[in-house]
Amino acid sequence: MTPEGNFVRPLADLCAARELFKVFISPGARSAPLVRAFTEDGRFNCEMVNDERAAAFIALGYSKASGKAALLLCTSGSAVLHYGPAVAEADGSDVPLLLISADRPSAFLGQFEGQTTVQDHIFRPWVRYSLSLNGQSFKQHPKISTEKMWEALTALDGSPPGPVHINIHLEEPLFISQNPLPLEFPQEGKSILPTYPEPFLNDLKKLLKTYEKIVLMPGSRLGEHPFELPPAAKVLMEVGAVLLHEPGCGWPCPQAGIPNGEDILRCLQEDMWPSLAPDLLITWGGNRVGKRLKQMLQRYPPKMHIRLDVHKRLVRFAGTQNKVWDVDPYDNALWSCTLPQVPKDYLHLWQELSRKALERRRMLLAHQPFSDLTSMTGVVQALPEDAIVHVGNSMVLRHFYDAYPLASRRFLVDVNRGVSGIDGTLGTAVGWALARPCSQVWCLIGDVAFHHGLNALWIETLPSQLKIVVLNNGGGNIFGTMPGPEQTPYPQKYFENRRSICAANDARKYGLEYKSVHQSHELAGALGWITHSTKAAILEIFTDPDVNIHTFKQFEIKMHLQQ
């Protein structure tokens, strides 16, 4: 009996020591020692997900919701490659995710052995730590091997946090229990709390005395920040700064914030943009969805751009003096300070324009035909208090962001805005629902993205509080709203790929309740049905793609006209 398989139990012990207890397993033979190590240990909560790509996005959603890295276990060969899209998203979103892949012995490479490929360091560009292990080296150097495993697990919460990959070469026998090698826990160094020198606050006070037009522009949520208004935003808003909120920030827009900056710029001629352009721009977080605000800042750049980022990543604006301050916008102690007030005229201008733009949107919506635009507005207005809403990318996201200011209730929003397009939307929502069993989790998704990620429903028990709303417009309508695709041959085939596919059979196959909507008068009742459903459910809203495109373009034009 070879000793190579018995060192995986110490790895399980190290994971438990770091309180990493949620494990998503995909089937395979080579990973048998890994599966036994984690499933036979009563400390771990293991979930079987047949498809590795779906499993990785489910784990991503679970990690986002819980603030703790979820574990992924898979067999060798192409299986590990399916983790790639979620690994890239976790990297771009600063989400910790632990990938543990089984591998064949290195000597098998190039020898025409099945399920054998280069797996060591395969995710190196996207992970915070990449480790290759085998039983022989562990047996010869147990202390060094243990320290390396501990370093890998520690890197999950590094600067910035993110995914980690451990690839384990395993020899046969794979299904025989073996005594684990002794484990000596590494000594962990003392953590040093960050200190913020007085000059930081002095510099901030000088900026507030120098500039009167100040904009706060947070991006999508990164890492494990709490789902609440950052103290930095609260303090700076109190002195008169304008907060341009987006739903993907991860916390609801405060009353004094501006939730519809894109609509404001839609309603204005571009020669009026300079009056709204800031002198001082303060940013933090990840990607922003809205393009008009970015265009305004590029055409009329601020005099100073300060980025708050403890990981010291600078996002530049051309023609602007850019600085990065390694301070945390969520640090209560840091932002418990008194700052000088700035004149409120600039803030009041944004707030008045926000009110007018909101009124204009409401007025125009009342006269629109049944479409994705009106359907998403109805969905947003019906979302229950304290729901968690995971929104897909592409046109669904744009409609949701525009409808968000019309919501009458407060709910949390999550979006995969690291690198993902339609990939992984459904899986991430399932992960959220598994991690938050006491909250309704809504997945708002297009028909193409739904069918692309369908294997996320292929798990043993779907969370009963999962609500999936599919906007079925027959394909990628976003390309019909863009200038350019219509000038190429066969735009529908190669861009939109229009097809009539229904989710009803998928609902039956995976045991979800199902209802469809084809006309506007059916929507309110259907939304009430899915809200109160006691099982996982799908609401599919069918709209005409040509009506969607025409309505969207006309709505944009009418929003732009001056009253």
Q: Residue 214 domain-assigned?
A: yes
pLDDT of residue 491: 54
Q: Residue 161 domain-assigned?
A: yes
pLDDT of residue 166: 96
Tell me: do 381 and 514 sit in the same domain: yes
pLDDT of residue 191: 47
Residue 110 or 96, more confident: 96
Q: Which residue pairs, CB below 8 angstroms and at least 24 apart, start in 342-345?
A: 342/208, 342/211, 342/212, 342/214, 342/239, 342/240, 342/241, 343/212, 343/240, 344/240, 345/212
Domain that holds residue 451: 368-560
Do residues 103 and 119 make contact, with C-beta atoms less than 8 angstroms apart? yes
Tell me: do 135 and 256 sit in the same domain: no
Write the pLDDT tens digit of every residue in 157-178. Answer: 998 999 999 999 987 756 555 5
Range 143-166 average pLDDT: 94
Tell me: do 9 and 150 sit in the same domain: yes
Residue 509 or 334, more confident: 509
Task: Tell me the C-alpha to C-alpha distance, in Å, between residue 441 and each of 376, 413, 434, 536.
Answer: 16, 10, 9, 10
Write the pLDDT tens digit of every residue in 364-383. Answer: 999 999 999 999 999 999 99
443 phi and psi, to 5 degrees? -115, 115
Range 104-121 average pLDDT: 70
Q: Residue 552 domain-assigned?
A: yes
Quote the number of domains for the chain.
3
Query: 353, 385, 415: which is the final residue of a domain?
Result: 353
Write the pLDDT tens digit of every residue in 68-96. Answer: 999 999 998 889 999 999 999 999 999 99
Q: Nearest to residue 165, comparing CAs of 111, 128, 214?
A: 128
Q: Give the type of residue at 432.
A: W
Tell me: do 396 and 519 sit in the same domain: yes
Write the pLDDT tens digit of every residue in 398-408. Answer: 999 999 999 98
Tell me: do 246 and 149 sit in the same domain: no
- pLDDT bracket for residue 487 (50, 70, 90): low
Q: Residue 495 domain-assigned?
A: yes
Tell me: do 473 and 552 sit in the same domain: yes
441 phi and psi, to 5 degrees? -115, 120
Looking at 47-51, 120-124, 235-239, 484-488, which range is the least confident one? 484-488
Q: Residue 363 domain-assigned?
A: no
Q: Residue 361 domain-assigned?
A: no
Task: Give percent of the chain above pLDDT 90.
Answer: 70
DSSP summary character for residue 443: E
CATH of the domain at 478: 3.40.50.970
Looking at 406-410, 505-509, 514-518, which range is the least confident one? 406-410
Q: Does residue 120 surpass a pLDDT of 70?
A: yes
Range 186-195 average pLDDT: 53
Tell me: do 253 and 325 sit in the same domain: yes
Q: Does residue 335 surpass a pLDDT of 60?
A: yes
Do residues 414 and 432 make contact, with C-beta atoms less than 8 angstroms apart? yes
Range 108-130 average pLDDT: 80
pLDDT of residue 320: 85
Tell me: do 285 and 390 sit in the same domain: no
Write the pLDDT tens digit of every residue in 287-317. Answer: 998 899 999 999 999 999 999 999 999 888 7
Range 484-488 average pLDDT: 58
Q: Does residue 480 surpass a pLDDT of 70?
A: no
Q: Does residue 150 surpass a pLDDT of 50?
A: yes
Q: Nearest to residue 254, comparing CAs of 274, 232, 271, 272?
A: 232
Write the pLDDT tens digit of every residue in 536-548. Answer: 999 999 999 999 9
- pLDDT bracket for residue 223 (50, 70, 90): confident
pLDDT of residue 160: 93
- pLDDT bracket for residue 186 (50, 70, 90): low
pLDDT of residue 2: 42
Tell me: do 392 and 537 sit in the same domain: yes
Beta bridge partners of 97: 70, 163
Q: Does residue 284 surpass a pLDDT of 50?
A: yes
Q: Give the type of residue at 292.
A: R
Retrieve residue 487's tokens: 């000038």
Q: Residue 98 domain-assigned?
A: yes
| Average pLDDT score, the chain | 89
pLDDT of residue 490: 55
- Residue 167, classed as helix, strand or coil, is strand
Tell me: do 420 and 535 sit in the same domain: yes
Range 353-374 average pLDDT: 96
Q: Residue 75 domain-assigned?
A: yes
Beta bridge partners of 324: 307
Length of the chain: 563
Do residues 120 and 89 make contact, with C-beta atoms less than 8 angstroms apart? no
| Cα dihedral 500, 501, 503, 509 sign | positive
Q: Does residue 411 surpass a pLDDT of 60?
A: yes
Tell me: do 33 and 102 sit in the same domain: yes
CATH of the domain at 237: 3.40.50.1220
- pLDDT bracket for residue 276 (50, 70, 90): very high
Residue 494 has a CB neighbour count (10 Å cut-off) of: 11
Tell me: do 375 and 332 sit in the same domain: no
